[in-house]
Amino acid sequence: MTTTSTERGSVADAIRALVVTREFQPGDRLAEADLAARLDVSRTPVREALRQLAADGMVEHVPNKGARVVALSPAELEHVFELRARVEGTAASAAAVGATGAELDRLDELAEEIARHGLPGPDQALDRVYGCNADFHLLLAESSRSSVIAASVRQLFHTAATVRTYQGFDEASVRRSVAHHREIVAALRARDGEWARSTMHSHLANARAALLGPRPVAHSHDTVDAPRDDGADDPAPTRPPS
Amino acid sequence: MTTTSTERGSVADAIRALVVTREFQPGDRLAEADLAARLDVSRTPVREALRQLAADGMVEHVPNKGARVVALSPAELEHVFELRARVEGTAASAAAVGATGAELDRLDELAEEIARHGLPGPDQALDRVYGCNADFHLLLAESSRSSVIAASVRQLFHTAATVRTYQGFDEASVRRSVAHHREIVAALRARDGEWARSTMHSHLANARAALLGPRPVAHSHDTVDAPRDDGADDPAPTRPPS
DNA sequence: CTCCTGACTATTGCATGCACTTTACTGTTC
DNA sequence: GAACAGTAAAGTGCATGCAATAGTCAGGAG
């Protein structure tokens, strides 16, 4: 059932997978000995991976107290989407210049796979969308030909690893999202960086709205500081008291 | 001579300091045993710190081959400044809402200290500016009240740890930069997020120009792909062949 | 002279063991 | 019954040792 060994994949990836599959939920402690036993390695590589994940923002590390899966508040999720829009928009713009033909072909494949597994139909499999979506966004970042951009995208993407793609999306949001992936590749093929950037902005605004609901209106007299989160059936991402 | 022990400060910070002081230059190998001896700890915490720094983007880690200080090409430095402008602009905007009085006071102090050590005069000490500037930008990021924003700012800032603040800046650029720090705090005190954001944009555009020279003009017939870097006397940041 | 092959060295990757900190429990005292 | 102290258990932090891999150099064949 669970992959019983690390199998040449890094320990950090294995732990990320455990978080993505909700085996560890936001706020859960990540005990080193426990992870070491699960992944069938010693505590040493586990500790290294946890430090790495902590720097990535997926895990919170407190000295002498261990690591926990980060629990993002709705306000912080808003920030994740804002930063992703800006950073991945830049990535898309740079990828319009730098992407190779092979990368564009692979992005096409991934966009189609996301469509197959995301849209209603015989092949729908929402639990398989997360991986394809991750591959799409991270490959796009690589296509920017900039290690700096790629690292920033990776960090932000992994920070939101607990947000499962398309889970809780309404169908219209899913259709828009699927269309965005295809359109981004079209923009890249046209070598139009601004087209790619703005489509990426739309893509992430759509995801934000599907997960978090309408944006809070600053000068309204109700719910000034608390963004809505209807539409998302995630467990309330309340931050554990530090 | 060198700080002979880690003294309660984390090993990662100690290694960062070695890079900032140019004891290790971009492209240099970071051998675990060597660092362990220098910092008077065993290889284990050194390895953990290197993984962390690799996730932060300051160090490049190749399996079975060890870690090297990242050498950023001029094109990647351009990307660092673009992303910093977008991400730290967002941080400044959020800090205008969230910064506490104590944080604003500390930012004021840091801005003044940067002025004292950066501007010509009896207290000028360019080598001390880096630390103050780092404190300023990282504290500003903390003031955003968002761990996500803070982590992104940290990552981008540390990625460019090899760029020494104000070294090679002409005097006009230094004066602008000093004024920017003060103006940003003024904008935060006015709780004006857009003011803070745009001043931060100017601040980083100024730093970019001082270090990298005029931006390449896309549709010019000369130097299309190679950004100028006159004005910076840094050693040519050529990327080692991978 | 060049290229290939082999062993040797240096360095990384990982497992294990011990010391110290934190936490939870239990027994005692007010 | 509640609060506190002392102790035991659990878990992290770090050092050390061994196995495995990459890099280096010497030797020999073409």
Contact residues, chain A to chain B, C-beta under 8 Å:
44, 47-49, 51-57, 70, 72, 75-76, 79-80, 82-83, 86-87, 90, 94, 144, 146-149, 151-152, 155-156, 159
- Strands (DSSP E) contained in A142-220 are none
- The chain B residues in contact with chain A (CB within 8 A) are 44, 47-49, 51-57, 60, 70, 72, 75-76, 79-80, 82-83, 86-87, 90, 94, 144, 146-149, 151-152, 155-156, 159
Instruction: Check residue A219 and give its pLDDT.
Output: 66
Q: Helix, strand or coil for residue A229? A: coil
- How does residue A115 score in pLDDT terms, banded at 50, 70 and 90? very high
What value does the mean pLDDT take over residues B20-41?
Answer: 95
Q: How many alpha carbons fall within 13 Å on the CB side of residue B58?
A: 28
Neighbours of A215 (CB within 10 A): 12
Over residues B92-108, the mean pLDDT reads: 98
**Is A37's CB less than 7 Å from nucleic acid strand D?**
no
pLDDT given for residue A20 in this prediction:
93
Residue A217: predicted pLDDT: 82
The owner of tokens 């004024």 is: B179
Does residue A213 or residue A239 have the better pLDDT? A213
Q: pLDDT tens digit string along A170-208?
A: 999 999 999 999 999 999 999 999 999 999 999 999 999
The pLDDT, as a whole number, for residue B242 is 38
State how far the Cα of B174 lies from the Cα of B161, in Å rounded to an integer.
Answer: 18
The percent of residues above 70 in pLDDT, for chain A, comes to: 86
Per residue in B165-195, pLDDT (tens digit) is 999 899 999 999 999 999 999 999 999 999 9
CB A192 within 8 A of CB A96: yes
Q: Where are the beta strands (DSSP E) in chain A?
A: 29-30, 59-62, 66-69
Please determine, for residue A17, whether its predicted confidence score (pLDDT) is greater than 60.
Answer: yes
Tokens at B189, concatenated: 């005190």
Per-residue confidence band for B233, with pLDDT thresholds at 50, 70 and 90: very low
| Contacts with B205 (C-beta within 8 Å, 6 or more apart), sequence order | B81, B85
| Residue B50 to chain A, least CA–CA distance (Å) | 9
A&B contacts, CB < 8 Å:
92
Percent of chain B with pLDDT over 90: 81
pLDDT of A110 over the 90 cut: yes
Cβ-proximal residues to A214 (8 Å cutoff; 6+ apart), any chain: A228
Of the candidates A41, A52, A42, A2, the residue with the CA atom closest to the CA atom of residue A22: A2
What pLDDT sits at residue A5? 44
- B2 or A84, which is more confident: A84
| pLDDT given at position A225 | 52
- Mean pLDDT confidence for A17-38: 95
**B79 and A156 in contact by Cβ < 8 A?**
no
pLDDT digits (tens, 9 = 90+) for A66-104: 999 999 999 999 999 999 999 999 999 999 999 999 999
Confidence of residue B217 (pLDDT cuts 50, 70, 90): confident
Q: Which amino acid is at B1?
A: M
For residue B174, what pLDDT is reported? 97
Q: Which of the nucleotides lies closest to A65 (Cα–C1')? A: D12
Residue type, B88: E
**Domains identified in chain A and CATH numbers:** 11-69 (1.10.10.10), 74-212 (1.20.120.530)
Q: Are A158 and A57 in contact (CB under 8 A)?
A: yes
In angstroms, the separation between the Cα of residue B195 and the nearest Cα of chain A is 17
The pLDDT value recorded for residue A216 is: 81
Gap from B64 CA to D20 C1', in Å? 10
Give the C-alpha separation, B199 to B89, whole Å: 8
Check residue A3 and give its pLDDT. 40
pLDDT of residue A221: 60
Residue of B76 and A9 predicted with greater confidence: B76
Give the mean pLDDT of chain A. Answer: 89
Q: What is the mean pLDDT of residues B83-98?
A: 98
Confidence of residue B222 (pLDDT cuts 50, 70, 90): low
Q: Give the model's pLDDT for residue A220.
A: 56
pLDDT above 70 covers a percentage of chain B that reads 86
